[in-house]
Amino acid sequence: MNNTAVSMIAGVWLAVILLQSVPTTSQGADGPPNIIFILSDDQGYGDLSCYGSDVIATPNIDRLCKEGMKFESFYVHNRCSPTRASFMTGCHAGRTGIGNVVYRWEGNGINKDEITVAELLKESGYATGIVGKWHLGEWDAFNPIRHGFDSFFGFLHSDDKTKALFKNLEVVEKVKTQTDGIHSPKLLQAGIDFIKEHQDEPFFLYYASPLPHTQWNPHPDFVGSSKQGTYGDVVQEIDWQVGGLLDTLDELGLTENTLVIFTSDNGPQLNVDGHGSSGPLRDGKWTNFEGGIRVPCLMRWPGKILAGSTNDEITGIIDMLPTFCALSGAEVPTDRVIDGKNILPYLLGEKVESSIHDTFVVPGSTILHGDWKLLVKDQNPGGNGNKGMQGRKPAKAGSLFNLKDDLGETTDVSSQHPEMVQQLQQLMTEYMEEFNANKRPIGWVKGYSEERANETKRAQRETKAEKKKDS
């Protein structure tokens, strides 16, 4: 029997179990579908066999491709917390105040007034559970069970101060200062247990694997299993986890009425040796080049989604909330702006007169409209820091790319198409006027504020600069 591992950022997460009882209802064969949403961490567009990798074997994830729909233009944000905020709220992360990674020392996280996809599904009779990485706040106020989830088995933080915050919880164990493969079987088993416990009612499982985030430390059963070093090994470990979930659905007879989605929270981290692949896309994590925000996405719902189909329309993680609402009968919130749209027509193969999205915006940074992409803000390889990114070129604000002809964003054609530059700049200006008028605040715990967080950041930068100077 294989075992697997869970890779975590050093000293960031604490394993906890939160299990609460939920009401039992009956689910008919034609009732609302179960939903399993699987989110990997820092996995690139080119890191799956079905997306072209010849060094990483992913037969279970490839099964989703063969039996479902492959999305080729699926967009997220370029970092962990923003993408997860978008998934939970159906909005661009900046609209909810979570435009950056959430850290415990900042004292912030998802606002209590946000309406999450878990809350909406729960109100529609779904059992809701999360397994794995949360990353939307590491204080009690931001715990997933306070934002629509009936149960949580996963990671918040690993220091003693956070442990003290959760005196009412059973602490499973602290994640070691380096990532360790011992956790993966526990996460998978938690996912399997959730499915089995709720097999007689509609359920929503958010399975947020912390793999393949650095550092890569695969379980011994997977060491050397790929042709892509330890990175490939942990991706194949993810594939094993996906296989375990799919096998459970098969065993329980739940496959036909379960929508399974697999995607990643952003592109690969490229400034480390042995990193993943963005495939034909430019750059990776921390950037708004295609390699940072376009990720693999597969959706399977037997009998509903055509097996072996492909979709190249603009879609994104912001679309999950309205789509899940359409599936469950829940109402999309009308008291706030929701950026996502219902893409169920794509899944069901229905005729769509015009694209559901003709534009995808990274607010204030880039805008994609049809085949055209304009950089409104400078883009540096590897994000703000170029460590390990020698040889990769930045791109200036005003650069224009035609993704139909140049998916790798290699050639700036702004001088040949000034009218398109002007059009996209105007679209961004109009979008930002609306966006800024309808932004919502991030949540804060008592005693913390944006001013305090900024002071802490400044102090950290000064300390780092002093250490560098001394060295």
Q: Give per-residue pLDDT as tens, 189-202.
A: 999 999 999 999 99
- Contacts with 104 (C-beta within 8 Å, 6 or more apart), sequence order: 138, 139, 157, 159, 162
pLDDT for position 138: 87
Q: Which fold has domain 362-440?
A: Arylsulfatase, C-terminal domain (3.30.1120)
Q: Which residue has the tokens 């560098």?
A: 468
The rounded mean pLDDT for the chain is 87
Q: 43-92: per-residue pLDDT in tens?
A: 999 999 999 999 999 999 999 999 999 999 999 999 999 999 999 999 99
Sequence ranges of the chain with CATH classification 3.30.1120.10? 362-440
* Percent of the chain residues topping a pLDDT of 70: 86
Select the highest-mean-pLDDT range: 157-161, 211-215, 400-404: 400-404
pLDDT for position 180: 52
Least confident of 211-220, 262-271, 362-371, 423-432: 211-220
Least confident of 256-270, 362-376, 440-454, 455-469: 455-469
Q: Cα separation of 405 and 402, whole Å? A: 6
pLDDT for position 470: 72
- Over 70: is that where the pLDDT of 23 sits? no
In the structure, what pLDDT confidence band is assigned to residue 215 with cuts at 50, 70 and 90?
confident
For residue 80, indicate whether it is catalytic: yes
For residue 135, indicate whether it is catalytic: yes
Q: Cα separation of 263 and 38, whole Å? A: 6
Q: Cα separation of 56 and 145, whole Å? A: 36
Task: Say if CB 240 and CB 2 are below 8 A apart.
Answer: yes
Of 129, 86, 135, 131, the residue nearest 108 (C-alpha): 135
In the structure, what pLDDT confidence band is assigned to residue 14 with cuts at 50, 70 and 90?
very low
Of 97 and 463, the one with more pLDDT: 97
Evaluate the omega torsion of the peptide bond into residue 202 and state whether it is cis, within 30 degrees of 0: no
Of 462 and 84, the one with more pLDDT: 84
Dihedral angle sign, alpha carbons of residues 176, 179, 184, 185: negative
- Over 80: is that where the pLDDT of 291 sits? yes
Bridge partners of 267, per DSSP, are none
Of 271 and 438, the one with more pLDDT: 438
Select the highest-mean-pLDDT range: 2-6, 15-19, 237-241: 237-241
Helix, strand or coil, per DSSP, at residue 432:
helix
Q: Cα separation of 252 and 205, whole Å? A: 16
Q: Cα separation of 383 and 287, whole Å? A: 5
pLDDT for position 390: 53
Sequence ranges of the chain with CATH classification 3.40.720.10? 14-357
User: What is the DSSP secondary structure assignment for residue 212, as one 8-state letter?
Assistant: T
pLDDT for position 271: 85
In the chain, the amino acid numbered 209 is S
Q: Can you say how many angstroms the Cα of residue 177 is from the centroid of all Cα atoms in its chain?
A: 24
Q: Which two tokens stand for residue 293?
A: 């925000």
pLDDT for position 302: 98
Task: Say if CB 351 and CB 313 are below 8 A apart.
Answer: no
In the structure, what pLDDT confidence band is assigned to residue 389 with cuts at 50, 70 and 90?
low
CATH (one of 3.40.720.10, 3.30.450.30, 3.40.50.2000, 2.40.50.140) for 14-357: 3.40.720.10
**Among 92, 135, 198, 219, the one annotated catalytic:** 135
Q: Cα separation of 1 and 242, whole Å? A: 15
- If DSSP states are collapsed to H, E and C, what string results for 307-366? CCEEECCCEEHHHHHHHHHHHHCCCCCCCCCCCCCCCHHHHHCCCCCCCCCCEEEECCCE
Least confident of 317-321, 378-382, 417-421: 378-382
- Over 50: is that where the pLDDT of 268 sits? yes
Output the CA torsion 281→284→286→288 (10° steps): 0
pLDDT for position 391: 60
- Contacts with 190 (C-beta within 8 Å, 6 or more apart), sequence order: 17, 131, 153
In the structure, what pLDDT confidence band is assigned to residue 464 with cuts at 50, 70 and 90?
confident
- Over 60: is that where the pLDDT of 164 sits? no
Q: Which residue has the tokens 């790929």?
A: 226
